[in-house]
Homo-oligomer: A and B are copies of this chain.
Amino acid sequence: MRTHYCGEVNASHVDQIVTLCGWNHRRRDHGGVIFIDLRDREGLAQVVCDPDRPEMFKVAEDVRNEYVLKVTGKVRRRPAGTENSNLASGEIEILCHELEVLNAAVTPPFQLDEENLSENVRLTHRVIDLRRPQMQKNLMLRYKVAMAFRRFLDEKGFIDIETPMLTKSTPEGARDYLVPSRVHPGQFFALPQSPQLFKQLLMVAGYDRYYQITKCFRDEDLRADRQPEFTQVDIETSFLTEEQITALMEEMIRSVFKTALAVDLPNPFPRITHAEAMRRYGSDKPDLRVTLELTEVTDAVTDVAFKVFSGPATSGGRVAALRVPGGAALTRGEIDGYTEFVKIYGARGLAYIKVNDASKLNEEGLQSPIVKNLHEAALKTIVERTGAQSGDLIFFGADKTKIVNDALGALRTKLGHEKGYVDGSAWRPLWVVDFPMFEYDEENKRWSACHHPFTSPKDGHEALMATDPGACLAKAYDLALNGWEMGGGSVRIHRSEVQERVFQALGIGPEEQQAKFGFLLDALKYGAPPHGGLAFGLDRIVTMMAGAESIRDVIAFPKTQRAQCLLTDAPSDVDEKQLRELHIRLRQKVETQVEVGKG
């Protein structure tokens, strides 16, 4: 129907007759002439409707916002001084010869340039919201990124193999979404939390290099950056070492950033161990743009009078310092604010020392109620290790290690960005490697897998699985970027006896192993190659790239944080007949259900 996209017509088309289709973005009447900004996916074009074509002009007079139009006209230069350099088509306009209304539109619930719309309004009227140029840019970027992944992986010999959506429930990980079976009464499929086991089976079957950009599902309570269904760039390869896998993956990420954003990421990406990341940043996905670092002082405060420090220091906890250069200038109110902030992470308070004079290791040089309860050796170590100078401020975390890391790690990032402790580089990727195999689950009093139970222990660490699980490290690696986890993976276990020992360490006995993972253990016996891989969170990567506030801004039809689609009103009630066919019934009576339903 058209000859060009609106946003593509430019000075090279002057004097040509073009036909455009699009939406009336804005209509202005000026000096007896009607100007229509016609909008399509590629941008805007200015259409001039002159009253000397009365039939066409009459149509133009009735055009309202968001009418769908077909315009045929002659491209001409805009009069000097009326060019719009913000538009690709800003040098030209189309003198309208014919104008057809392809469809009328009622007044939209909001204007496309309206700001500060509530997310509920945006998601309810998602079709209008998706017309906004920012959303169009975001979804185009998402496509560009996905295709950049595909192109790179294709060139490297990876092939996309689809794995099932209707699969088996394995309740170890997050909560499954279940799908009742009609053919097998009382039984259920689960939607996949990831294609993990299937991609490992594909390696055992000899496919060598696999990828898939696929939906995964977790029925968890939603945080800002989570969705019930999310998209994973899922990758697995055989016969490569951990170093070869991470090298290939960072080459891919560099290629994707170059293609999608024309950004050159560092080569190679820096690499630190998980232990070092926790020690220096209190986080396994540190934001390297922030220049602040944590300093270990646990060993220096074991015997101080200040119980808040010596307590954790002598009972397996951690005491760490965060030096803020020039931080003595922070106001009381700011410090109070940060003290409140760290409480989110379980910290009971936020001790600090103002360094008035770094050369005086006493209450004169170091201003803080805690100084009198720290002996001089401790103060000396603190000042020396942090490198504190006069005019600095030192925050402290002292508690169980996890709380200290979470609290000071988060404070580091927040304070760093708020107070400008950041270096210039916009993108700071980082490999975090040598994750622990296991973490202790206090609630259930047992070890659980840090990454997942299919991750290989580091060479030489196999025996630790039985003797000291907490000290056993894994061939697991995460890629962090600016404080976000972009992706993570591991070298997998390819010998069934090692897999069985890991299950054992996790408290999964032989019978349960066979019932739940028998097909994996079998596969590992039939000639499994060494293999490993990674999964990247596509939603999150695009959110970062787009500078969006929420992953919901890079998903066409997202769910709310209450896991609803406001546009189509899903989930919804279904017919009793459907439930009967699926051999299930509702637990609540209908009356109760109305009360607790979404109303």
Task: Name A residues whose Cβ lies closer than 8 Å to a Cβ of B.
Answer: 1-2, 5, 21-23, 39-41, 66-68, 70, 102-106, 108, 126-128, 130-131, 136, 139-140, 142-143, 146-147, 150, 154, 159-169, 171, 175-191, 197-198, 201-202, 204-208, 215, 217, 219, 228-229, 231, 238-241, 244, 494-495, 519, 522-523, 525-530, 555-557, 559, 562-565, 567-575, 578, 580-588, 590, 593, 596-598
Contact: A586 with B588, CB < 8 Å? no
A584 to B130, CA, bound (A): 36
**B569 near A219: Cβ-Cβ < 8 Å:** no
Taking a contact as CB atoms under 8 Å apart, the answer to whether B143 and A159 are in contact is: yes
A208 surroundings in chain B (CB, below 8 A): 5, 40-41
How far apart are the CA atoms of A202 and B136 in the complex, in Å?
Answer: 11
CA distance A270 to B161 in the complex (A): 33
- Give the shortest distance, in Å, between A340 (CB) and chain B (any CB): 30
For A139, list chain B residues within 8 Å (CB).
159, 161, 207
User: Which B residues are in CB contact (< 8 Å) with A169?
Assistant: 570, 572, 574, 578
Question: Given the complex of chains A and B, what is the CA–CA distance between A448 and B204 in angstroms?
Answer: 48
Query: What are the residues of chain B within 8 A of A519 when measuring CB–CB?
Result: 127, 567-569
Say whether A187 contacts B147, CB under 8 Å: no
A578 touching B166 in the complex, CB below 8 Å, given contacts A182-B219, A571-B187: no
In the complex, which residues of chain B have a beta carbon less than 8 angstroms from the beta carbon of A557? 163-164, 198, 201
Q: Which residues on the B side are within 8 Å of A67 (C-beta)?
A: 527
Chain B residues within an 8 Å CB radius of A166: 177, 217, 228-229, 559, 565, 570-571
Report the separation of the CA atoms of residues A105 and B206 in the bound assembly, to the nearest whole angstrom: 14
Are A168 and B103 CB-contacts (below 8 A) given A146-B160, A185-B593, A208-B40? no
Q: Which residues of B contact A528 (CB under 8 A)?
A: 68, 103
State A394–B240 Cα separation when bound (angstroms): 66
Chain B contacts for A105, CB-based, 8 A: 525-527
Chain B's closest residue to A150 (CB) is B150
Instruction: Given contacts A126-B205, A189-B571, list 18 more A-B pairs with CB under 8 A.
Output: A23-B527, A68-B529, A102-B239, A103-B494, A139-B161, A162-B555, A166-B571, A167-B565, A168-B572, A175-B581, A178-B582, A180-B180, A183-B562, A185-B586, A185-B593, A186-B588, A188-B572, A583-B587
Write the chain B residue with the least CB distance to A211: B143
List chain B residues, Cβ under 8 A from A568.
167-168, 197, 519
How far apart are the CA atoms of A411 and B66 in the complex, in Å? Answer: 54
- From the candidates B178, B191, B593, name the one contacting A165 in the complex (CB within 8 A): B191
Q: Report whether B206 and A39 are in contact in the complex, using a CB–CB cutoff of 8 Å.
A: yes
Q: Contact between A597 and B185 (Cβ–Cβ < 8 Å)?
A: yes
B106, B140, B217, B526: the one within 8 Å of A66 (CB): B526
Q: In the complex, A306 Cα to B177 Cα: how many Å?
A: 62
Question: In the assembly, what is the distance between CA of A176 and CA of B39, in Å?
Answer: 38
CB distance from A151 to the nearest CB of B (A): 9
Q: Is the CB of B106 within 8 A of A525?
A: yes
The answer to whether B588 and A583 touch across the interface, beta carbons within 8 angstroms, is yes
CA distance A164 to B2 in the complex (A): 31
A188 to chain B: which residues have CB within 8 Å? 571-574, 578
Query: Does the CB pair A108–B526 fall under 8 Å?
Result: yes
Contact of A175 among B130, B176, B182 (CB under 8 A): B182
**Contact A103–B495 (Cβ < 8 Å):** yes
Instruction: Say how far A485's CB is from chain B's closest CB, in angstroms.
Output: 21
Given A127-B201, A182-B219, CB of A206 within 8 Å of CB of B585: no
Known: A1-B241, A189-B570. A563 touches B183 (CB 8 A): yes
**Which of B179, B564, B570 touches A177 (beta carbons < 8 Å)?**
B179
- In angstroms, how far is the closest chain B Cβ from the Cβ of A248? 13
Per the bound structure, the CA–CA distance linking A103 and B494 in Å amounts to 8
Residues of chain B contacted by A522 (CB below 8 angstroms) = 127
The distance in angstroms between the C-alpha atoms of A175 and B596, with both chains bound, is 27
Determine whether the beta carbon of A587 is less than 8 Å from that of B584: yes
A-B contact pairs, 17 of them (CB 8 A): A23-B206, A40-B208, A41-B207, A103-B494, A108-B527, A130-B205, A130-B207, A162-B556, A163-B556, A164-B559, A168-B571, A175-B581, A183-B562, A185-B586, A201-B567, A519-B567, A580-B587
Q: Which residues of B contact A147 (CB under 8 A)?
A: 150, 154, 160
Interchain nearest-CB distance for A443 vs B (Å): 15
Question: How near does chain B come to A44, taking the closest CB pair, in angstroms?
Answer: 12
- A190 and B588 CA atoms in complex are apart in Å by 20
What separation, in Å, do the CA atoms of A593 and B143 have in the docked complex?
A: 46
A583 / chain B contacts, CB cutoff of 8 Å: 586-588
Q: Which residue of B lies closest to A147 (CB)?
A: B154
Please state if A556 and B168 are interface contacts (CB–CB under 8 Å): no
- Nearest CB to that of A214 among chain B residues? B215
In the assembled complex, how far is the CB of residue A492 from the closest CB belonging to chain B, in whole angstroms?
Answer: 12
